[in-house]
Structure 1
């Protein structure tokens, strides 16, 4: 387990309790409990709605044979955000709403993509700034596809001709007894 996850598992609950106590002292105990319940109910409703949207987008992407990168990231963010929203506390709810709300999720997706690309580059020994990784090549271009098609068809024989659709009158009669 990475060190920051271990620290987060120790620090976040203590911070949540501290913030709940501070809010309770400011607005009272019962209003604080009511606020936590309202946030949880709103979070559950939002998770259901956005989870359904993410699932439908993922299904559509796979049915249309598109690579579902954005859809998978959205589904992961809704899952993590939903988990944070269902945990009691104000700090986790802030991050949960950031991951789940449709107008903040693109920013969260961009942060997640940047984090993951830096992690992958570090694991593979690449440079996270330039994106260069040892042993990799540049991405293919349309010119590469044309060149590959020309090379693939260069040695094939081409027969010039014309396709003629046969008419029923031109076909020879077949003997049904044969």
Structure 2
């Protein structure tokens, strides 16, 4: 099944893009079509960079608060995918790229991906046995003192 999806992605997708570019080129003219492709690439790359920087700052803020930045990392990945789609020549890739840069549509896509991941991805953990030499006892028998200080920081937004 995966091979079918990859086949469609890498053969049928570019073929559809090419046919769509040829159709648009015959309707509005080739210079205009090339101009649209270049303009959407430039604007899309700038928007993706701007939103990517904002996403990185949100990730840093969450980490600074001691929180896991799961949603922000998801945003960052989708913005990266949008940037790649926008610099790829084509009309469908541009539409999908701009859709991923639109926060409300990105939220819908994130929720769909989250549901898919919960359904299809299973996380397993394993614990391995460690052996210690007679000169160093296992960690639970070490007599170590750990000194710590709690510092409260506030992030001003």
**TM-score w.r.t. length of structure 1:** 0.65
Greater CA deviation, 73-82 or 2-11?
A: 2-11
Report how many residues are paired.
123
SS in 2 for 1:10: helix
In 1: Cα distance, 2:33 partner to 2:24 partner: 7
In 2: Cα distance, 1:5 partner to 1:61 partner: 36
Moved beyond 4 Å, runs of 4+: none
The 5-angstrom pairing of residues 53-72 of structure 1 reads 53-72=54-73
Of the two structures, which has the highest relative contact order with CA contacts closer than 8 Å and spacing of 6 or more? 2
The 5-angstrom pairing of residues 108-123 of structure 1 reads 108-120=109-121
Larger Rg: 1
**TM-score w.r.t. length of structure 2:** 0.73
Q: How far is 1:92 from its partner? A: 0.7
- The question of 1:2 aligning with 2:6 is answered no
The 5-angstrom pairing of residues 137-156 of structure 1 reads none
Q: Deviations over 1:41-97 (max 9, x none)?
A: 110110111001110011111111111110111011011111111100011111111
Q: How far is 1:27 from its partner? A: 0.6
In 2: Cα distance, 1:5 partner to 1:83 partner: 17
Q: What is the RMSD of the two structures over their aligned residues, measured on CA atoms?
A: 1.8
Q: Unpaired runs of 5+ in structure 2?
A: 125-157
In 2: Cα distance, 1:34 partner to 1:20 partner: 12
